[in-house]
Every structure is written in structure tokens, then in C-alpha cells.
Amino acid sequence: MLNLIRNEWMKLWHKKATWIMVALLLFILIGIGGIMKFVQSTLDQPENQPSWEENEAENKAFLTAELANPNIDDTTKKQLEKELAISEYRIEKDLEPMDPSGREQSILDSHFMLSLVVLLSVIAAAGIVASEFSQGTIKMLLSRPVKRWKILTSKYLTTLLFALMLTMISFVASLIAGYLFYDPSGGAILDYRNGAVVEVSYWGRVLALYALQFVGIIVYLTFAFMIGSVFRSSSLAIGLSIFLLFVGPSIVLFLSKYEFVKYILFTHTDLTGYISGNTFVPGLTWPLSLVVLTIYMLLFLVISFWSFTKRDVTA
């Protein structure tokens, strides 16, 4: 199996497209940091900016007023109470929030840029099986003393490895951009857990966001992998996956009135909502998300393996 993965890895990196993807990723990630910095520097800074303490006091007052409103529903109430608790804690312990234009915040936000990695991993996953068919090399590949499921497994693991590598590259690139273009600002992240406000470790939060985004990457990648191995066409797989990537959230929004939206894949592809507190659809829970994602992933993989091992090669 190790040899098979080495083979796939070798083929992947001998394609020019792969190098172009990595170069593009680096260029965009570091470039965007530079552009943002440039845009910020051209904006006029208002003279008398209120201090964070003043802002926070204002926020607290606003939250208290909102809570006094008798018409709010239970979920909103809970959310507001949570925010109020955090706000009070911040003022009480004198914990400065992060400067939105500081280094820490920029690195924290960089997980959004992983949608680029989704795009690139989808391209790789879509092509890894389909390209063997379009090049005609599939005949050479499958007339070897290696069972087909092993070959497909090696291809799937290789795409996962590739996605992981791209994720790490983006992380490092975002760090570089953060240190190059932004000044450190300090600040503390607060969270509300089990009825108490806690301070969250900064790097822990960054890693958690990256890890949750990576789950989304794997889901889209697996989908593209399935389409690529079933239809043996990489353009179809890339097109369809990217289409769903863009349309998915709108579908969820559109169907959010109905109960079954909870069982749609796209409701669960962005798990970072659990950290930021803004889940797409109210009433989602971790176990539900994990079960739904697992079922869809298993379905995708079963279809891929079934199609790849059972069907004749006629290309």
C-alpha cells in the first residue's frame, strides 16, 4: 500500500498543474494579506477612537436592553445571555479583545481562506481517477497484480494527504502574511462553556478552526472523488463539486423552514459555526452533524469503490 501511495504521490507532483496550484495558493494567501494591509493604510483613522472599554460598555448596555424586550424567543434569549456574560466578564477582568486589524485576528480569520484549499483539493480528487481513464493509462494500472480496491484506496489516501498538505501550506502562508503585514495586538478570546465564561487559548482556537474547516474539505473532496470515479470524467466532477460548494449554503437557506434541512449534507459542511456560535440552522448538535457527515461520506465511498471495482474497463 505504501508503494501505491508513493506512486500516486509521484504522479501527482509530476503534473505541472499541481505546482501551479500550490504557487497560486501561496501567492493569493500572502498577496491578500498585503492588499488588505494596503487598503487599511489608505483608510483615514478617525481621531478620537473610543477605547475598547467604552465600546464594551456600550455593547453591554445594548445587550441588557435587548434582553429586557419581552418578545424575544428562547434561542435568541440564550444567545444574548451568553454574550452578556462574556461582555461582563471582559469588563470585570479587564481583558482586551483582539484588534480586528491586528496580527492575531488576521491569523485567526485565515481559516476562511481554506475555501481555496477546497477548490484545489477538489480538482486533485476529481482528476486522480478520471485522468487515468482519459490518458488511457488505466489499462496499464489495472492489469497489475494489485486488487482494484487497493489501487482506489491508495488514490483516496493520496488526495487526503494532498489536502492536508495544502491546509498546512495555507496555515504557514497565513502565518507568514500575518507576521509580514500586521502588528501584534494581543487580546483575549472568551467563550461561554457549561454556564461559565472561560478564556480560550489562542493557538488552540486557531487549530480548532483549521481542523473544522478541514472536515469540510474532506467532504467536498470525497464527493469529487466519487463523481470522478463513477463518471470517469474530471471536468464533470470538478464542475459539480464546485457548483455544490457555491450553491450548497443557498440550498440550506432556502430549505431552512423545513425540518429535513437538518439531514442535508451542506447544513453540516461548515462546522466552524459551532465555535463562532452562528450555526446555519438553529438546533444543530454535534452528534447530529457527525452522524449525518459519516453517513454521507460512507455513501460516497461505497459508491466510488463499488463502481471502480465492479465495472469493466472499456476505454
Partner 1 sequence: MEQQPIVELKGLSKTIGKKKIIDNLNLQLFPGQITGFLGPNGAGKTTTIRMMAGLMKPSSGEVIVEGQTLTDHFEETMSKVGVIVENPEMYKYMSGWKNLLHFARMNKSITKERITEVVDQVGMQNRIHEKVSSYSLGMRQRLGLAQALLHRPKFLILDEPTNGLDPAGIREFRTYLRKIAVEDGVSVFVSSHLLTEIELMCDRIAIIQNGQLIDIREMNQKEEAHYYIEAQPVEQTRELLVGLGLTVAESGHGFIVKVEQDQIPAIIQSMVTANLQIFAVQPFRKTLEDQFLEMTGGGQIAESHKK
Interface with partner 1 (CB under 8 A): 3-4, 6-7, 10-11, 14-16, 135-137, 139-147, 310, 312-314
Q: Is 263 helix (H, G, I), strand (E, B) or coil?
A: helix
- What minimum distance in Å lies between the beta carbon of 146 and partner 1? 5
Nearest CB to partner 1, comparing residues 194 and 314: 314
Contacts of 149 (CB under 8 A, 6+ apart): 305, 308, 309
Contacts of 186 (CB under 8 A, 6+ apart): 96, 98, 99, 102, 104
Nearest CB to partner 1, comparing residues 14 and 193: 14
- What minimum distance in Å lies between the beta carbon of 6 and partner 1? 7
3-state secondary structure 125-181: HHHHHHHHHHHCCHHHHHCCCCCHHHHHHHHHHHHHHHHHHHHHHHHHHHHHHHHHH
- What minimum distance in Å lies between the beta carbon of 237 and partner 1? 20
Nearest CB to partner 1, comparing residues 11 and 82: 11
Contacts of 201 (CB under 8 A, 6+ apart): none
β strands within the chain, DSSP E: 189-193, 196-200
The three cell numbers locating residue 232: 470517469
Nearest CB to partner 1, comparing residues 78 and 144: 144
- What minimum distance in Å lies between the beta carbon of 225 and partner 1? 20
Is the Cβ–Cβ distance between 212 and 272 less than 8 Å?
yes
- What minimum distance in Å lies between the beta carbon of 184 and partner 1? 44
**Residue written as grid cell 461548515:** 270
- What minimum distance in Å lies between the beta carbon of 288 and partner 1? 41
Nearest CB to partner 1, comparing residues 75 and 135: 135
| DSSP H or E run through 213 | helix 202-231
Nearest CB to partner 1, comparing residues 15 and 93: 15
User: DSSP state, 276?
Assistant: H
- What minimum distance in Å lies between the beta carbon of 4 and partner 1? 7
Hey, what amino acid is at 253? L
Instruction: Write the DSSP string, 47-81.
Output: SSPPPHHHHHHHHHHHHHHHHH-TT--HHHHHHHH
Nearest CB to partner 1, comparing residues 74 and 312: 312
Nearest CB to partner 1, comparing residues 35 and 140: 140
- What minimum distance in Å lies between the beta carbon of 159 and partner 1? 17
